[in-house]
Amino acid sequence: MTYKNKELCKIRTITTFISLDNNKESWNDKIKSATAFCLKLTEEFKAENYTVQSIRIVTNPFGEYLNTDNLDNARADLSYLNALLTTSNDSGMRIRFAIGEAKSKEEIELLPELIMEFGDLCNVCVNVSIDEFGVLDNQLIQHSVKAVQRISSITPRGEGNFNFTVNFNCDPLIPYFPASYHRKELGNRFVIGLETPDLLVNVLTNYNQSVGKQNHNEQFKGYYKVMSSALQHHITNINNIIQNSNCDKSYVFSGFDSSAAPSKDCASMVELYELMGVEYFGASGTVEASSLLTKVFKSIKDVDLVGFSGLMLALTEDTGLAKGSINSHFDIRSLLTYSSVCGIGLDTVPIPGNTSSEKISALMRDTGTMAYRLNKPLTVRLFPVPGLNAGDLTSFESDDLCNCAVLAVP
């Protein structure tokens, strides 16, 4: 039972959700409390041989506590928060910060310069709603597109868009950035996000070796059972650690995001498709396999599931997907199609730097329409890469990003 190996299931993030107000004197205690909580829980996980990769803090909408009268004031407040985060963490752990959601044109216009300066301490999202006819707020989308294009032009290689996303039908308490946001009426919360591609590849490899070739239906039933059981095993273990924890009880545990959350440092989600008999990600059978994987992530029992809790296909964070883009195994429309049976939308997708705002807006509207029509959370996080055209290769330098081919926007 190698799937019980705790090295195969990493805790991508302990994410706390707190509320700040315009009383800056209170920020220090709240930041220190959230950081201390995350570090204490990290030690308890470590004692049980689970690795925690990052700790994260998410706030209510930043317009409720930052001085947004102008860019200089907002920059000064974020500098102060940055100093608090630095002094509250002497552990060496990676700490990431999300300033909640931007809710107005004026707030969105502040984002490019703030992201350029503060980067990973300025993760932020915009939540786009629909009207009584089911039509998306296109004005808010257009403001967001301007921010995406501005971020692309003022950050190296356009990488600043890693910290900005547009959400459709997304609830609070997502543990993953930058889609995370909080609402103060929810109080102090925390959520656990996992990194499990290594685990899922392990169990499918062992299953195929042990049972050999079966008929298609039996094969897929077996895949579902072994992946669901392995994921349930670790989530139950981690939940038990939390329930027996001596950490600050003022932070209410809100559950798990059961998504696999791939990264460039673990197995690729593409390996799962190949182990399930799909020739390559993007070939015939990709939709069926995507649907099965989503069913696995939704199958977890006895805990609350929050956030996406589905299949994440983050192009520039997954080495196999990045390679597939270079081999022309899929296009941007394919990724949107797969979102109909999984999640997360169009995530970390490089597009030509000169893509028009009209095309980007339409792409966001397509994604948002699907999110509300199918009642699922989807996001759009695009990287217009300055100077590059469709088919060109990126040259990202961020430790979080893989290099891949730029996808055309039809």
pLDDT for res 247:
83
> What's the average pLDDT block by block, 10 residues per block, for the chain (410 residues)?
89 97 94 94 96 95 96 96 85 85 96 94 96 93 98 96 96 95 96 96 94 88 96 97 89 95 90 96 95 95 94 92 96 91 87 97 96 95 96 93 95
Alpha helix (H) residue ranges in 119-196: 138-154
Whether 33 is covered by a domain: the verdict is yes
Closest CA to 262 of 277, 281, 278: 281
Domain membership flag for residue 11: yes
Give the model's pLDDT for residue 163: 96
* Residue 396 tokens, joined: 């990202």
Give the CATH number for residue 32.
3.20.70.20
* Domain-located, residue 46: yes
402-to-210, 268, 323, 350 alpha-carbon distances in Å? 34, 12, 9, 11
- Whether residue 323 lies inside any domain: the answer is no
Work out the number of other CB atoms within 10 angstroms of the CB of residue 365.
18
User: Which pTM was predicted?
Assistant: 0.94
Strand partners, 124: 164
359 within some domain = no
Asked if 170 and 182 touch (Cβ cutoff 8 Å), the reply is no
Q: What is the DSSP letter of 327?
A: T
Model pLDDT, residue 264: 85
Looking at residue 8, its pLDDT comes to 93
**Which distant-in-sequence residues (6+ apart) come within 8 Å of 380 by Cβ?**
165, 166, 168, 345, 346, 347, 363, 364, 367, 368
Question: Whole-angstrom Cα distance, residue 234 to residue 240?
Answer: 10
Does 140 map to a domain? Answer: yes
Domain that holds residue 300: 1-313
Distance CA 298, CA 292 (A): 10
Instruction: Write down the pLDDT at residue 213.
Output: 79
Is residue 209 in a domain?
yes
Give the pLDDT score at 94. Answer: 75
- Count of domains for the chain: 1
User: Does residue 332 belong to any structural domain of this protein?
Assistant: no
